[in-house]
Chains A and B, each alone.
Chain A
Amino acid sequence: MKILVCISSVPDTTSKISFIDGDTKLNKAGVTYIIGPYDDYALARAVELKEQSGATITVLNVGGADAEPQIRKALAIGADDAIRVDVEPTDSFFVAEQIAAVAKEGNYDLILMGRETSDYNSGVVHGIVGEMLGIPSFSPVMQLDVNGNEASMTREIEGGKEKLTASLPLVLGCQEPIAEWKIPNMRGIMTARTKPLKVIPAAGSALTTTEKYSLPAPKGACKMIPVEEAEKLIELLKTEAKVL
């Protein structure tokens, strides 16, 4: 089985977000980058499938050279080789186009990624890739097993979940609890240094551009209600906040 795992390189979820150059660029100073949290689940499940029944895992990133530490980490966790499409991942359609081009070349049985990236949270790349390749796509997938050419999955739906089966090849957007995040071991880190990482140019052009960024208005002070008068909260929510 050939698995393609697409990873994004995103600011750590605890990062403080700020902008520079007249609010046109993200301030990367002091920001730690990580593998997208959802992508990390997809990678972990790919590694488990490889351990169970054998597979080769290619990790794919659409991004600049500064994403390479995250790519090396994915190799250390268990991917066999890596491809980086050398372009800033500016828009969902454009990123999907890059992934679909790599996927067409490689004939993968499974294309896994997170349900969404934690920067733009659009949650559409897997679907666009599936359509471009003419194969089924499902998201958010919280459980995945593969038996021969058949995948059985659990997908989260509003207020519950559904179990489904489909034949490979498939594109899946993954989320917890599909697997536990994996931490690379020393041997993995050593071997990751020599695993192949191919850098290729992008094709096509983005359909959106970001003109300016902004931050939410600062929050006013929290109004504290003494515990012995807790019931007053309901009155305040009715008359002052007007949400009840």
Chain B
Amino acid sequence: MILIFTEIADGAIKKSSLEAIYYGSKVAEMMGTTATALAIGSADAAELAKAGNFGATKVLHANDAKLANPNSMAYASVLAETVKSTGAKVVVAAKSSFADAVTARAAGALKAAVVGNVTELPNLSNGFQVKVSIFTGKAFADVNVNGDVKILAIKKNVVAPVENGNSAAVETISPALADSLFAAKVTETIKATGMISLPEADLVVSGGRGMKGPDSWQPLLDLADALGAATACSKPVSDLDWRPHHEHVGQTGVKVSPNLYIACGISGAIQHLAGVNSSKVLVVINKDPEAPFFKAADYGIVGDVFEVLPKLTKAVLAGK
């Protein structure tokens, strides 16, 4: 059986987890078995049944009140126990820093092989081989995964889910939870509300030092708003505190793979490219025609971002 670690946000299955469920169901098909989603936290059964639409035949739901808030150690314990009780041989998760923390501890408990940044369905012609993105997107490796239990963290956009109209049976599980799993105390959570999640976003509008200062982002925010895009920034911008750190995209920040990434006033240092190079379409707007980012872009506009952005916003709104 293939088990999919399914993340819940605001009572719904995260979009990236729906992709993971679809990926898991395809692997199950290849291996002649079925896919089961493991959902931890509070969500309605009707919402979780949607996992069926993406290929899961069953959803195991651990909804103990202690699991209401994401806790990587407790979630990992539930995941490891579920792998043991179901005899799952392959675990699939959508890559995220939370999923990494969970699958890592589960791998430690299960002595499982764990591979991150998987970019394709596995090749089962000779063992179990996956293609993974390495060196922050600069190369790929074909990795043979051995070990009794295999854990795969897949990148966003590696499969295009086809919905099948099915609904999955939801079964509540109550795994034992040791007190030691709750030893850490969360004293404060600071979260931007009403924002589109950057790692999950299909469309991203990002700004660099060319945006001039913390108070001149409105034209960029307007375009993002018109498109329904998430906003992001380069490292210098978050270092200067013009934008919050969780928006920083690049080698040492968030790595994104949206359908569309629009870079405004970002020169395109290699460290920035590392965070965006798996985007499907890259648009670069920069007044410097020599900006290295143009070499990596699909579409480019040489011009002042403060002149270009309002034109784009207007065109988007006019087309709606």
Query: Which A residues lie at the B interface, using CB under 8 A?
Result: 11, 13-14, 17, 19, 37-38, 91-93, 96, 115-116, 118-132, 136-140, 142, 152, 156-167, 175-177, 207-216, 219-220, 222-227, 230-231, 233-238, 241, 243-244
Contacts and interface: CB of A to CB of B under 8 A. Distances in A.
Contact of A121 (B116, B147, B191): B116
A139 B73 CA distance: 11
B108 A127 contact: yes
Contacts of B301: 224-227, 230, 233
B139 A118 contact: no
A243 B204 CA distance: 12
Contacts of B114: 92-93, 122, 124, 128
B316 A234 contact: yes
B312 interface: yes
Nearest to B299: A223
Nearest to B100: A123
Top 3 closest pairs, chain A to chain B, by CB: A127-B104, A131-B108, A227-B303
Q: Which of A121, A137, A177, A214 has the most CB of B within 10 A?
A: A121
A224 to B, nearest CB: 5
B184 A138 contact: yes
A210 B283 CA distance: 34
Interface stretch (B17-25, B55-63, B289-297): B289-297
B15 to A, nearest CB: 12
A37 to B, nearest CB: 6
Nearest to B226: A234
Contacts of B190: 160-163
A20 to B, nearest CB: 13
11 contacts: A92-B114, A92-B116, A116-B100, A122-B114, A137-B72, A156-B97, A159-B197, A164-B187, A165-B187, A207-B146, A215-B140
Contact of A241 (B97, B184, B281): B281
B45 interface: no
A126 B259 CA distance: 31
A131 B151 CA distance: 16
A93 B139 contact: no
B84 interface: no
Nearest to B102: A127
Contacts of B43: none
Contacts of A226: 301
B46 interface: no
Q: Which of B101, B109, B195, B284 has the most CB of A within 10 A?
A: B101
Contacts of B34: none
B297 A222 contact: yes
Contacts of B255: 121
A209 B146 contact: yes
A38 B245 CA distance: 15
A166 B186 CA distance: 9
B284 A127 contact: no
A162 B271 contact: no
B100 to A, nearest CB: 4
B97 A115 contact: yes
Given A121-B134, A127-B72, A230 B191 contact: no
Contacts of A225: 299-301
Contacts of B308: 227, 230
B264 to A, nearest CB: 12
A116 to B, nearest CB: 8
A209 B144 contact: yes
Contact of A207 (B108, B145, B281): B145
Contacts of B113: 91, 93, 207-208
B135 A237 contact: no
Interface in B255-285: 255, 259-260, 270-271, 274, 277, 280-281, 283-284
B104 A119 contact: no
B134 A120 contact: yes
B160 to A, nearest CB: 12
Interface string B292-319: 0011111111111001100110111001
A172 B296 CA distance: 35
Contacts of B42: none
Contacts of A227: 301-304, 307-308
B139 A17 contact: yes
Nearest to B278: A216
Interface string B157-196: 0000000000000000000000000011111111110010
A93 B188 contact: no
A163 B153 contact: no
Given A118-B136, A215-B140, A230 B303 contact: yes
